[in-house]
Each structure stands twice: as structure tokens, then as C-alpha cells.
Amino acid sequence: MDYKDYYQVLGVSRSAGADEIRSAYRKLALKYHPDRNPGDKQAEEKFKEMNEAYQVLSDPQKRARYDQLGSAYSSYQRGGGQQGGFDWSQWYSSGAGGQQVNYDDLFSGAGGGGGFSDFFSAIFGGINGMNGDARMRRAPQYEQAVTISFQEAYEGATRLLEGGGRRIQVRIPAGAKTGTKVRVAGGAPDGADLYLKVVVDGDARFERDGADLYAPVGIDVFTALLGGEVEVPTMGGRVKLTIPAGTQPEQKIRLSGRGMPQLKNPQVKGDLYVQVKVHIPKNLTKEQRMLLQKVHELDKS
């Protein structure tokens, strides 16, 4: 296995700082990105090689380990060592080399995709579970979590993403749920796509099942028996709901079209199901007990 000079790949000195390494990477990424060089295998290999170099040199821990290896390898060469005779076993690592990438990191050039060499995999154990046999077939992709409120999931939301001197406004569609991914084409510094992975905050008023909502609403026993009106929450505000006489505990009353928008067809909304919670009074007045006893006796006759 050959030693790879990552500094040479990026065209920087071994004393280069993070900003210089980042700048060199971004220039090369723009030049050799597969989308700019369709069908050019040499450009694709160059892109993979410089992406691998940046993965190492942009990470302080990986860079430190790589520099230790480089020093040992240089000493071996100065001592007259022949190619192929270097003891690589002491540098092998089975640990994962993946890193958590945040949005600012993306715009500064961190993160990366697949297609890493045997050299990289031997030293760092691969990245994100990939090994040296993997071959990159498309531009790397990046994910970043973004949290929105329950109301924003109903109405849709906008997020302004900033980093590395760039600003991108992203629209999160109505009907998004936790796990929904929003693609930002070319959002990463090397032209790869950025995916925002949506996390929707809960709402104490509702439980969600797809586009349908469930809302528990309490009523007193007399309204359940005699019927009446009660205000219930909806995503569009509170509305009055007619409670039929004889409504049973835990009965569900459907409000059509009062649920969440369908993600792929936001003009169509799910339903809201009001779950009736009947409150039984614990302390009755003497008069209430007498009246209820009379009703009870009438019911038996």
C-alpha cells in the first residue's frame, strides 16, 4: 500500500492553517466536481482524492494522527527503507472515522462522501461505515436537523441558513412531519445537495397520526347527557362544537378537513377527531343528589 501525501493533493504546505486548507479544498471542489465534468473519469478520481485529503486535514484529530504517520514514514524512507517494506500494521485502526457535520461546517467545507482509499480506511477505519472498496458514484450528500413548531408544520415554514459567508432561504412545506427531508440542491460548498431533516415540536393540544389530529376535550356529565356546545381547539383557532345528547365517554366526533395538510397535496387536509372526556363531579350538592336520584328512579320505572 502506498503512502498518500494529502498536503500535496490539496497543494498546501504542512504548516498550512485551517483557513488555507479550506480555501484550497473549495477551489479544487469547484474545479473537479463531477457535475462540472460529466463523464471525465480523471476529474472524478481527482475529486475523490482531494475530498479524502480534506476529510483528514480539516479534522484536528485525524490530521494529528496522519502527521504522526507521515513523520514515521519519512524517517523510514530516510533510513533507506524500500517501498512495500513499511510496517503499516501499527497504524491500522478499526474505529469509525465518521464525523458529525453541522451546517456551518458544510459551508466551511467539512464533511464528505464516499469512495475512500485503502490507505484512508486502514488508518482511520473508514468513514460513516464505508471501507476502502467503496467507490463514489455520485456527489456526497449532507444532512442537518432543523426543528419547527407544530404550527409551522401546519402552515409551512421558512429557514434562513447562514455559514461561510453564504445565506440560503429554504422553504419547509406545510404538512412536514418528523423525519421529512427537504432537499437544498447544491447547498454544500462542493456543490453537493444538503438535506434538512425536519423535527417537529409537539403540541400539548393534539396528537398526530399522519394528516389526522386527535384532541381530547372535556365536558361535564350534564352536557354529555343533555347535549350542548363546547369550544374545541383546531389548528385554525377555536371553534364551537355541538355535543349530541347521550354522548358517551371517549366517543370521537369527527371534524372533516380540520387536520394537517397532506405533504404532497397541501390543499387537502386530514381530519380532526375530538375525543370526549366526560368529567364526573365528585362533590354534589344536596339538591343535585335529590334530582339525580329522582332521574334514576324514573329511569328504572
Residue 167: pLDDT band (50, 70, 90) is confident
pLDDT value of position 103: 37
Cα 145 to Cα 141: distance, rounded to the nearest angstrom? 14
Q: How much is the pTM?
A: 0.53
Q: Tell me: the pLDDT tens digits for 84-136? A: 566 666 565 433 333 333 334 333 333 333 456 777 766 765 433 333 333 33
pLDDT value, residue 124: 66
User: With contact defined as beta carbons under 8 Å apart, do 153 and 203 qualify?
Assistant: no
| Residue 49's pLDDT band (cuts 50, 70, 90) | confident
pLDDT of residue 156: 94
pLDDT for the residue numbered 176: 95
pLDDT of residue 212: 97
Q: What is the mean pLDDT of residues 11-24?
A: 91
Is residue 173 predicted with pLDDT exceeding 80?
Answer: yes
* Confidence band, pLDDT 50/70/90 cuts, at residue 278: very high
> How far apart are the C-alpha atoms of 88 and 90, rounded to whole Å?
6
Rounded to whole angstroms, the Cα distance separating 182 from 84 reads 47
- The answer to whether residue 147 scores a pLDDT higher than 60 is yes
Q: Which of the residue ranges 50-54, 141-145, 242-246 has the most confident prediction, judged by mean pLDDT?
A: 242-246
Average pLDDT of every residue of the chain? 80
The string of pLDDT tens digits covering residues 193-246 is: 788 889 999 999 999 999 999 999 999 998 999 999 999 999 999 999 999 999
- The beta strand positions in 149-280, using DSSP E, are 157-163, 166-172, 181-184, 194-200, 207-209, 212-220, 228-232, 239-243, 252-255, 261-262, 265-269, 272-279
Cβ pair 27, 13 in contact under 8 A? no
Structural domains of the chain sorted by starting position, each given as residue range(s) with its CATH number in brackets: 6-124 (1.10.287.110), 142-200 (2.60.260.20), 207-300 (2.60.260.20)
Percent share of the chain, pLDDT over 90: 39
What's residue 272's pLDDT? 97
Identify the top-confidence range among 24-33, 78-87, 170-179: 170-179
Sign of the C-alpha dihedral computed for residues 232, 253, 250 and 178 taken in this order: negative
Give the integer Cα–Cα distance in Å for 121 and 139.
Answer: 19
Extract the C-alpha cell encoding 58: 480539516
